[in-house]
Amino acid sequence: MEKMTIRDVDITGKKVLVRVDFNVPMDPVTGAITDDSRIRASLPTIKYLLERNAKVILLSHLGRPKGKVVESLRLVPVARRLADILGQSVDTAPDCVGPAAEKAAAALKSGGILMLENLRFHPEEEKGDAVFAQALARLGDIYVNDAFGTSHRAHASMSGITRYLPAVAGFLLEKEINTLGGLLENPEHPFVALFGGAKVSDKVAMLKNIMSKVDGLLIGGGMAATFLKAKGYEVGTSQVEADIIDIAAGLMKAAEKSGSRFLLPVDVMVANKIDSSAVGRVVSIDAIPSDKMIVDIGTLTIDLFIRELEKSRTVFWNGPMGVEEIPQFAEGTHALAKLLPHLQAKTIVGGGSTAEVITKLGLADKITFVSTGGGASLEFLGGKALPGVVALRDKI
For the chain, domain boundaries: 6-175, 187-381
Q: Which of 286, 199, 288 is nearest to 244 (CA)?
A: 199
Question: Per-residue DSSP letters for 203-225?
Answer: GHHHHHHHGGG-SEEEE-STHHH
- Tens-level pLDDT at each residue, the chain (396 residues): 799 999 999 999 999 999 999 999 999 889 999 989 999 999 999 999 999 999 999 999 999 999 999 999 999 999 999 999 999 999 999 999 999 999 999 999 999 999 999 999 999 999 999 999 999 999 999 999 999 999 999 999 999 999 999 999 999 999 999 999 999 999 999 999 999 998 999 899 999 999 889 999 999 999 999 999 999 999 999 999 999 999 999 999 999 999 999 999 999 999 999 999 999 999 999 999 999 999 999 999 999 999 999 999 999 999 999 999 999 999 999 999 999 999 999 999 987 789 989 999 999 999 999 998 888 998 999 999 999 999 999 998
Long-range contacts, 104-107 (Cβ 8 Å, 24+): 105/15, 105/55, 105/57, 105/139, 105/140
- For the chain, what's the residue count? 396
Per-residue confidence (pLDDT) for residue 104, from 0 to 100: 98
CA–CA gap between residue 125 and residue 276 (Å, rounded): 38
pLDDT given at position 396: 80
pLDDT on residue 112:
98
Describe the strand order of the beta sheet including 167-169 as a list of residue ranges: 91-92, 113-115, 55-59, 15-19, 142-145, 167-169
Task: Give catalytic residue positions.
Answer: 38, 199, 352, 375
Q: For domain 6-175, give its CATH number from 3.40.630.10, 3.40.50.1260, 3.40.50.720, 3.90.1150.10.
A: 3.40.50.1260
Whole-angstrom Cα distance, residue 269 to residue 298? Answer: 5
Question: pLDDT at position 315, please?
Answer: 97
Helix axes 374-381, 171-185, angle to 10 degrees: 40
Its pTM surpasses 0.75: yes
**CA triple 358-202-279, angle to 5 deg:** 55
- The pLDDT score that the predictor gives to residue 375 is 86
C-alpha 24, offset from chain centre: 12
**Cis amide leading into 65 (omega within 30):** no
Residue 66 has what pLDDT? 95
CATH code for the part of the protein at 187-381: 3.40.50.1260
Q: State the CB neighbour count (10 A cutoff) for residue 100.
A: 14
Q: Number of C-alpha atoms within 13 angstroms, CB side, residue 208?
A: 14
Query: 6-175 and 187-381 share one CATH topology?
Result: yes
